[in-house]
Amino acid sequence: MRPRPQRPDELITRINVTPIIDVALVLVTILLVTAPMLSIADLPVNLPKAHTREAEDERNVSITRASNGDLAVDDHAVSLAGLRAAIRVRLEAPGNDNVLVVVRADASTPYAEVRDLLAAARGAGAKRLAVATRQDTEEHP
Amino acid sequence: MARFKRRPATEGIFEPNMTPLIDVSLVLVVILMVATPLAFQSSILLKSAGAEGRQARSVERSARIDLGVLADGNVRVNRMTVPRAALAATLGPLLQASGARVVVVRCEDGVPHGDFVGVIDEAKTLGAAEIAVVGR
């Protein structure tokens, strides 16, 4: 059915929904993009630089080891003693059976501590492990 | 204060509607602001948890490459100690000749995490298919 042509002197009585749809899309976009960030602890971490890019967009459980030694699993601060239990709780959540566990350690952290974090993740049942890096955009010499 | 002149009903609206343009621009700004830190964060996959140690060792010695990161700044490639700067020249040909291209990495306790990641990143860049990290 063709719409009735509007006469030039006729008032527009329909509600303009374009602005409300635009604002709604803005909110949806903000939520979509910020959701992954909300699951990462806000700790000072200087990630090591690397060229390798793997599993960038994959959902994961993150273990953060800050430059000051603080630990966190996702966005929850934990102690070293409670680390393994905290990881296990995350891995036992529905749908997290084969989830990637990413260790986000500061570049200055001694490797022995990173190895302990990897061991804790393995002990808690992690099947897939990765170390987080900061994308190095410089070309190889 | 002067009152607005009433617009006749037959007069058209000639100002462009800026609302959609501003909204779309704000979306782009928000996406760029929030996505930039995430775009620069990546990760390097390590061989599956069960492969640590024993399973990594089960790969035939001829098919795997042993890599050690030493605290003195050198690296050990299949029992041959070389300076860190010579890693690419040493490891590259070995990876080319290797079928499985599995690299088993050991790292001394005092090595900074950044150096460890630098070595496995270089191994990946040179063509390593899998990186297995050996524990204590």
Q: Write the DSSP string, A46-108.
A: -PPEES--BSSS--EEEEEE-TTS-EEETTEEE-STTHHHHHHHHHTSTT-TT-EEEEEE-TT
Instruction: State residue B51's pLDDT score.
Output: 47
Residue B33 lies inside a defined structural domain of this protein: no
Contact A128 B49 (CB under 8 A): yes
Report yes or no: A103 and A132 within 8 Å, Cβ to Cβ. yes
Domain that holds residue B58: 51-133
Nearest by Cα to B118 from A68, A107, A8 = A107
Q: What distance in Å separates residue B135's CA from the closest CA in chain A?
A: 7
Average pLDDT, chain B: 78
Indicate if ipTM > 0.90: no
**pLDDT (0 to 100) of residue A86:** 92
Confidence (pTM): 0.70
pLDDT above 50: residue B49: no
Domain contains B110? yes
B22 within some domain = no
For residue B27, tell me if it sits in a domain: no
pLDDT band at residue B9 under the 50/70/90 scheme: low
- The amino acid that residue A81 corresponds to is A
Total domain count, chain B: 1
Nearest CA of chain B to the CA of A125: how many Å?
8
Asked whether residue B124 is domain-assigned, the answer is yes
Residue B8: per-residue pLDDT: 59
**Residue B38 resides in a domain:** no
What's the pLDDT score for residue B61? 59
Q: Is residue B61 part of a domain?
A: yes
Residue B101: give its domain's CATH number.
Answer: 3.30.420.270
Taking the Cβ of residue B57 and every Cβ of chain A, the question of whether any pair is shorter than 8 Å is answered with no
Partner residues linked to A132 by β-bridges: B43
What is the tens place of the pLDDT at every residue in A23-45? 788 788 777 776 666 667 677 78
Chain B interface, best mutation among A6, A59, A131, by max B CB count within 10 A: A131
Q: pLDDT digits over B79-123, tens only?
A: 889 998 888 898 888 888 877 788 888 899 889 999 999 999 999
Please give the average per-residue pLDDT across A53-74, as a whole number: 83
In a domain, B63, yes or no: yes
